[in-house]
Amino acid sequence: MKMTTRTAAANMKYNKNRNLLIGLAICLTTLLLLLVPSVMAFIVRAEHAAVNKVYPTWHGVFRSVDIKTAEQLKARAELGEIGLRVDVGRLEYEDYELPLVFIDEAAAVMNKMELLEGRVPQTGDECALSQGMLKLFGIEAGVGDEVTLPFQAAEGNGYGLVEKQNFTISGILPTVEGNESGKMYTTLVSREFADEIIPKTESCWRVYFQTAELGSLGTTDDVENIGYQIAEDFGIERDRVRFNDEYLIANYVDPAIVMAVVLIMLVVMAAGMITIYSVYYISMASGIREFGKLKAMGATKKQLRQIVLREGMCVAAMAVPAGLILGSVILKLIGDKLYSVAAKPDDLLVQVITQIIVDDEISVFEPIIYVLAAAAALFTVYLSLRKPMRIAGRITPIEAVRYQEGRHRREGKGYESLNLSRLSRRNLFLNRRRTLLTITSMAATGILVMTLASLLSCMDSTDAADDVVLGEYRLEIESAEENREHPEYSWLRIQENNPLDGKLLDTINALPGVERTDVFQSADFKSPVFDENTWRAGITGVPEQYADMLENGIIEGHVTYEELKSGDQVVVDKMLRHWFPELRVGQVIDAEICDGGRTRKHQFTIAAFGEYPYGLCNSSYLIMASEGVEKLWENNQNYYIQIQADKSYDSTLHNELTALIGENTDVLSVKLWKDEYDMMERTYFLMRIACYTFLAILASISIMNLINTMVSSVQARRKEIGILQALGMSDRQSVRMLQTEGLFYTAGTLFLSLSAGCLAGYGLFLYCRNRSLMGITNYHFPWEAAVIVILVVLVVQLILGAVLGKSVRRETITDRIRVG
Amino acid sequence: MDRIRRSQIAGFAAAFLMFLVFAACFLIYQLSGQEAEIKRDLAAVISRHPELEEELLFSEEGRETVADSPELREIIATLEDKYNFSYRVSKNTIRTLKTGAVLMAAAGSAFCALALFLWVTSRRRRKVLEEELRAMYTCLNRFSTGIFDAYKELPWEDGRLRPLCERIEELGELLKLHDERRAQEQENTKALITNISHQLKTPLASLRMSHELRNDASLSQEEREEFYESEQKEIMKLQELLDVMVNVSRLENHMIVIRPVPALLRNTVEAAFNTVCVKAAHKGISLALHMEEDFIVSQDVRWSTEALVNVLDNSIKYSPSGTSVTVRVQPLTASVLLEVEDEGVGVPSAEYHKIFQRFYRGTRAAAMESDGAGVGLYLARSILEQQGGTIRVKAARGGGSIFQLTFVLAEPLQNC
Amino acid sequence: MKPIAQTIDLVKYYGKEGNLVKAVDHTSVTIERGKFTAIVGRSGSGKSTLLHLLGGLDRPDSGKVFIDGDDIYAMKENELARFRRQKVGFVFQDYNLLNSLNVWENIVLPIGLDNRKVEKDFIMDIVESIGLKEKLHTRADKLSGGQMQRTAIARALAARPAVILADEPTGNLDSRTELEVMALLKKCVSHYGQSLIMITHDETIAQMADTVCVIEDGKVVAAE
């Protein structure tokens, strides 16, 4: 074996304790480097898989296209998959929607249409339908049977007369719950049949497409751009292009997440590096003498460097796999629990995800991440070793013989009389660099801990829920503007017969447990300032009880609630400035008010800007007093009823409110403060656990740093401590001396961590609040975290001092003095 | 601040606090009375106008703080004018005052309790201190009766008295030491007397014999002259012996006090040389001095000269003729080194220690008919050590001896 | 006069069977108070071990050691530590100064450990006599061998212990410095009534003692 390797191996055994510490640090670092990306990747992939299972997979669709254009579209390279679909007609039965549709194979796959039995209709009068629909007609049939159904062919924008049509069943579609509740069953027919009915020039085809080559890293914008571009090329109007937004969003990997993961990994690497580096740096002191002797015997610079590197890598070679194995064990344990902890069990998406996890369709273990983690860990070790390697290379033999700890220029005057604490202080001062290094590296972790803890403690579910739902319950209108099937869901129509009228209010007020009801209005208008294609302009009417909140929230400009009753002035929530940054106080907005069938022109002046909880305006960011809205609009614009109750949740009251909605379930709904609260609790809970675990591991890495510093400090001063004991220092005094040193490190670390950490935490809080991230609204000082940090550090340091002080006693004094 | 003043101030403080407490209680009592009155007023109004009950109660409860508006103020002013009516202290004020009064009372009581506690503890402490002082008093008493171990029972735990206890212990030790030394000296004196009488016997005996023989008529003229000469020699020897004895005894009994003062060393050396140069020349031994500069050292000139003479004498005595005795002076850090080197018979290393003891002659020296009393070096060492210096002997290259003497510099050089 | 130090049948062996080194072999020795006692013997004769045992630095295998009437090995650790800083002043052969402290601080270190006040005048006296006045603020690792030795001696004297135990304290000094240091030590002994027990193999130093104790193979052979 080469001399360097042999020396390295010998050194490894000699420096057992130090290497143990380093090994532990490397192990933990590797652990974190493995866990964080694995968990993130797993979550993202699970979501993608679920989405892919549930949602249709087309990216966009061109509607009302003629067959020729449809065929031409197939040629475009940017569009990967193309699928065709056309409505051939419908079946007649009461008020059910029973369309007859031809859909080609590609479109069927993209729309997730699968047959239970049989095959797709290929010729003439073949069809595929569901048993549920057959039941409607009271027919019982299977594959191969002939059925007769009342058929209306598609004609222009409507349908022709009902005719009896014969169909042969070629396949059976699955019957799902949504069919009966939505009163809709689809029947598939063959291309032949479609071509028979639909004229060639008719533009009624739908072309589903998936953009090619973007894979999973494309953005929604990219897809839309391509879609619109092609539409333009083919003369398809923009409003005939639709995109599968939920699917796209769900499939698209936010680069912000990737960056966050990389950032976290860098932080972990930095923590590991600092610890390993300082451990090595501090224990270099005792090694320098050895290296000097080697140098005197003729070793070269390179050889010395190699020894350091090999020793370090040997330790890493054992610690990194240990970390990976430990990480794998943890992943296995928590893998299936990840999602079940976090979300509502009745959310469909979550159900699917849980199923996926249980079925083990996606693995938590991804080989690439293992390689990545191992590489990152080794790289960290290498970086940490560079400086010690350099130091080792530069040693001269003389230094070894005369090496004293803490060479430095300034001497200082010294003390007149000595006591233990002065001794400790003197020692710390002499080794300034080491002291500072330890304190800084520990404080770095401490600051991170306090910052994150601040953020976490600001995540208060109550605050977040309060931001969204101002009372305990909210009864609100559910309007839908673009539902072709149900045009009566649009707000303009609902207004005409607004169910939120005085009678309803009285009924609600009479319910037991209800303390107060506040009615908010939401009125729409059109204005050239707000492009109506992208932004629905609305005014919120705020009742008297919120006058104070309104006035107190003003941050720019000035207006009183009284003035807002006129209908000419509005307060604008500052959130609107995100999308319309050019809005100014005093700006006049021309508006077209649609009220019933009438339209009127009116002008508002922006009197002020304010900062309000989201639940106040709910995206209608212009605010007036209720009276003002009532002045301008004739129709009843009541949109929300915020209900204050005596208890935060009462199931009786909830049921009664639901009962009040009665038949108007399409347009009314009850929103619970409690639901918001519960949801935030769950979200926060998961985040909290993840963060605290992460911080705990980081903190352990850091504590190892402290342990090493103190241990090597004691080691280097064995002889000195022996002398002190020979001069009569008792055990208790030596323990106290070491504890005083530790106290100093502790104090420095705590001071830096708490002060800088809380400041950073406050800054982070402000950042998040301004961008309304994670529902953070109020600042809560992280008391518990601070107390825990202080306690942990103090306890560790006290124990350390006591243990070290006692351990010093084990050798007899004469041995230490003699060997020295 | 002396104790009387302090207790006066304490007394005043206590009285003031008591006053505060009483004032507070009185205030509370008054305020409660006012509170009750207000309640009664309200009840009276309500009993007369029951329909206004809710309104009146609401304003009483302060459910809605009545905003200060110009109209209200006008009404108040009108009321005051019309009826000379002044609304008495409002409820809030009463509450505040009550709280303040309670706080004052509490603070006052707390202070009183604290003061009492402090007074009690200080009383107790004083008693403890008295006991400790008594212990020290007893200890010192015991010292005067000759029991010097009593310091073990001193109150060592009391940090304030510890320096005192340490001094007492040192005193005890010192007294013990002196006591023991005194006993030792008595022993020494007894030994000295025995020794002196022993040493005197020999020359006295030979003198008496000579004296008796002189009267013998059968002696020839030459024989008589021989006796005469030997008598002379014996008398001189006796004289010398007595001189030395007297010096030694005086030194031992502290009748000679060595008082070191800063004085130039060269004078001492020259005086010593003058004293021995005759004897040296007589024996054919040359004296040399290497002394580049002079030093002011702490010495009693008369006695250090004596010490140096003794050393030189010793060297001359034990050196054969034709050799030289060299004196070298060099400075050290805080002292001056004076070396006397001879080329004589030397001192065997086993006897380094013994030659400085009293009445010791040495084995080799005895071979050379010596007439020393053996006290010269002993005296020299005693003198030098009392001046803060010391003396020792080393072997010189070539067989002789080097005697190293040190003198403490009166103004030490610090150039190391 | 009650002796300042006394050992009764003291035994300390090193090593194992077949390789046994009898450093102190059933030694009983009595040392007088207020005197300068020199312990001489060849190297390896057990002098240092005996001194360490007298100073409470090591534990004997059997036997007792009395210092100023107290059985030191019957004491508990804390009492022994207190004994070390109050009763005994040790001068080691290799000085054993604390490199992180300067000369003054090294000298007053035992006093500080005992929480006693520093008597500046007394210590300055020693410092001047021993010739360290210019070097008071120099750090210990920047001193020459002679200066370090003198600092160590000053440290032993500063605490005014009842016994000063010195292990070849002048071994690394030149002969003139050696003489001066011996003069200082003797002065302190006679002036303050302290007892000085010194190990030396040098006859020129041993001659300056009041009593000489010869040790050979772990036993006291002669004393005078």
| Separation of alpha carbons C180 and B390, rounded Å | 9
Contact A720 C137 (CB under 8 A): no
Query: Is B270 in the C-facing interface, judged by CB distances under 8 Å?
Result: no
What is the DSSP annotation of B170-219?
Answer: HHHHHHHHHHHHHHHHHHHHHHHHHHHHHHHHHHHHHHHHHHHHHT-TT-
Contacts of C85 in chain A (CB under 8 A): 727-729
Nearest Cβ partner for A404 among C55, C84, C141:
C141
Residues of chain A with pLDDT under 50: 1, 342-346, 403-410, 819-820
How far away is chain B from the Cα of C14, in angstroms, using its nearest Cα?
A: 32
DSSP 8-state class, residue B254:
T
Other beta carbons within 10 Å of B147:
12
- What is the average pLDDT across B244-249? 72
Q: Which residues of A80-113 are buried (b: 16+ CB within 10 A; e: fewer)?
A: ebbbbbbbbbbbeeeebebebbbbbebbbbbbeb
pLDDT confidence of residue A359: 63
Assess whether pLDDT exceeds 80 at residue C184. Answer: yes
Q: Which runs of consecutive H residues, i.e. helices, occur in A394-431? A: 397-402, 420-430
Does any CB of chain B come closer than 8 Å to the CB of residue C162? yes
CB contact under 8 A, C180 and B330: no
Cβ–Cβ gap C204/B394 under 8 Å = yes
Residue A730 tokens, joined? 């008792």
The predicted pLDDT at position A594 comes to 77
Residue A60 pLDDT: 82
Task: State pLDDT tens for residues B322-371.
Answer: 899 999 999 988 889 999 999 988 888 777 877 887 666 555 544 444 45
- Put simply, whether B174 touches C (Cβ < 8 Å) is yes
Round to whole Å and give the CA distance between B189 and B255. Answer: 13
C5-223 has CATH 3.40.50.1010 classification: no
Q: Which residues of A touch C115 (CB under 8 A)?
A: 419
- Residue partners of A117: CB distance under 8 A and separation at least 6: A142, A143, A171, A172
CB A464 within 8 A of CB A676: yes
Q: What is each CA distance from C67 to A207, C49, C84, in whole angstroms?
A: 108, 16, 11
Whole-number pLDDT of residue B349? 78
Contact B280, B324 (CB under 8 A): no
Instruction: List chain B residues with CB under 8 Å of C34.
Output: 177, 180-181
Separation CA A537–CA A483 (nearest Å): 19
pLDDT in tens, B359-411: 665 555 444 444 555 677 888 888 898 888 899 998 888 888 999 999 988 86
Residue B363, pLDDT score: 54
Chain C residue closest in CA terms to A402? C141
Please report the pLDDT score of residue B414 as a whole number: 44
Q: Going edge to edge, which strands form the sheet with B391-395?
A: B286-291, B324-331, B335-341, B401-408, B391-395
- Dig out the tokens for A280 from the structure: 């090595």
Of A414, A426, A727, the CB nearest to C113: A727
**Of the partner residues A423, A728, A817, the one whose CB lies closest to the CB of residue C84:** A728
| Chain C interface, best mutation among B333, B335, B337, B340, by max C CB count within 10 A | B333
* Touching chains, B (3+ CB pairs < 8 A): C
Task: Please write the tens of the pLDDT for every residue from B280-301.
Answer: 888 889 999 999 999 999 999 9
- The upper half-sphere exposure of residue B339, i.e. CA atoms within 13 Å in the direction of its Cβ, equals 18
Query: Which of B184, B334, B388 is facing C131, going by the closest CB pair?
Result: B334
Closest C-alpha to A454, from A787, A791, A780, A792: A780
Nearest to B335 among C117, C180, C193 (CB): C180
What token pair was written down for A488? 């009566």
Looking at beta carbons, which residues of chain C come within 8 Å of A415? 105
Q: How far, in Å, CA of A234 to CA of A64, rounded?
A: 12
Q: Answer whether C128 sits within 8 Å of B406, measured CB to CB.
A: no
pLDDT, one tens digit per residue, over A338-390 is 655 544 444 556 666 666 666 666 666 778 888 888 888 888 888 888 888 88
CB B288 within 8 A of CB B327: yes
pLDDT at C218: 63
Question: What tens digit of pLDDT does each residue of A66-98 get?
Answer: 888 877 877 777 777 788 888 888 888 877 888
Query: What ipTM score was computed for the predicted complex, to two decimals?
Result: 0.78
CB distance from A401 to chain C under 8 Å?
Answer: no
Residues in A closer than 8 angstroms to C100, CB to CB, are 405-406, 426-427, 430, 720
Which of the two residues, B369 and B238, has the higher pLDDT score? B238
CB atoms within 10 A of CB A40: 17
> pLDDT at position A2, please?
59
